[in-house]
Each structure stands twice: as C-alpha cells, then as structure tokens.
Amino acid sequence: MAYSGRFRAGDRVQLTDAKRRHFTITLTPGESFFTHKGGISHDDIIGQHEGTVVQSHLGGEYLCFRHLLVDHVLSMPRGAAVIYPKDAAQIIVEGDIFPGARVLEAGAGSGAMSMWLLRAVGETGRLISYEVREDHIGYARDNVVEQTGGQPANWDLRLGDLRDVTPEDVGEIDRVVLDMLEPWECLGTVRDVLIPGGVFMTYVATVPQLMKVMEGIRELGCFTEPRAWESLVREWKVEGLATRPEHRMNAHTAFLVWARRLADGTVAPKPQRRARK
C-alpha cells in the first residue's frame, strides 16, 4: 500500500459518511462496495487524491482517505488485546526507540506494538518478537503482513517463552518492551540481554502487577530506580458555546514502567526523599 499520492489499486481506503461512520475497503479495479445508500465503484476512487468525496449511485457522499496505521491497529483482527495508540506513543518516546535500534519485544499479541516498533527502528534496525501462544503468532504475522505488504526482513517473530531466552539467542539488545501477564518472571532475561544504558519498558494492566514488577526491578539491583505512570486521553467537543470535554474518554488502559540498565558492578545511589518539616 502506498502511503501518499493518488489512490492506487491495493490501497486500503477509509470511507467516512456524514454521521462519521467508517467503512474500510481495499481498492480493486472493477469492484464495488455497497452501502445502505447504494454502491460505490472502486474505479471512481482509483486515481483520485486523498481527501476527495465519492458519491454512491444513490447520492450518498463519502470522504476518502488512506488508512493510517492507527486506523489499522484499532480495526484489525485480534487474538489478544492491543496496546492502544496513546500508550504505544509513550513507549516509542519514553523508550527512545530510534532508527537502527535492536529491540526485543514479548509478547507479540496481535502485532499492534510490533508495527509501531518496526516503523520506529526503520530498515536499519531489528525487532525480535516473542509470543508463547501459536494462535496469537498467526494474528500478529497476518496483521503486520497486511499492513506492510509482506514479511519485514528485519522482523524476527518467534514462538517461545522469554524466560528461556539467552544472550546467545538474541545478541545485544538496545531496548526491551514487555506486554505480558507476569513480566517480573522475565527480569533476569532482560538483565542478561540488555546493554548498559539500554531502556526497559513494560506494560501492565493492574495494580498488583505494577507492584510486583517494580519490586522485582529494585531487587535485581542492576537497573535505575523504575518510574511508573499511566496516560489519560480526553477529547473535546468544540461547537461554539457548547464547547466542553467529551463525556467519554480513553482513561485507564495500563500502567507503563520504565528503567535503564546499569553497567555491571555499578550500585546506583539510593533515592532520597526530602525530610518532613
């Protein structure tokens, strides 16, 4: 799929009607998409610019744009819950995922975070993704291939348990991202494969998980003092004097935990709190 320019055959296009309902089609010459307001010929869209309006044969109007990656992530088939865009953005930025980075991910789930990581590391980087469930492996592979148009050469998707992984299996790793039920059980592996200064991030949904992974990081003594936070996103309705926050919002999805690998043998200064007056 092209990312810009005029629409081409094979592009995934999102059609939006006046009620902001979305319909996604893959452009195929000679085909038509049928709605309650009549059919839309794919040939009427192919060759047009993004941001144009196409009409169905009954007069319905639909705004046409290519699928963004965020649209694909939120609409693709899932074997496991996905890391939502607001949290994926935090992982990419706070995790400092850079072009050329060597990133280790577990678990791959439905492939949502894999797509963001592959885009961030670029063609010169490498992503190794572990997943313990074979059915989830299938979802992840299919979703990534559908988005990228083929199996990325720098993506190594593996069926296996991260607890069994050794440095010889993956080599030196710049960044580690975990999204699993019990990430504290894999902290030894993270310690062994992550280079000094490397960033470790994990995504956990509940307070007990958060407490256990924070305590586990501290007990190992080879990471900086971990940070934990959550991100909340609330849209606004802006219509003149009716401007106000939306009643619904994307509130808690998960906690994010961040730490960096210390050099071997280093003992970090203990965090000190201000004395109470």
As annotated, the binding site for S-adenosyl-L-methionine includes 131, 136, 161, 179
Binding residues: 131, 136, 161, 179
* Phi, psi of 54, rounded to the nearest 5 degrees: -115, 145
Among candidates 85, 125, 111, 131, which has minimal Cα distance to 231? 85
Distance of CA 169 to the CA centre of its chain: 24
Angle at 179 between CA 173 and CA 185, to 5 degrees: 75
- How far apart, in whole angstroms, are the C-alpha atoms of residue 228 and residue 241? 38
According to DSSP, residue 156 is labeled E
Query: Cα dihedral sign for 161, 165, 169, 174?
Result: positive
Q: Which two tokens stand for residue 106?
A: 């577990």
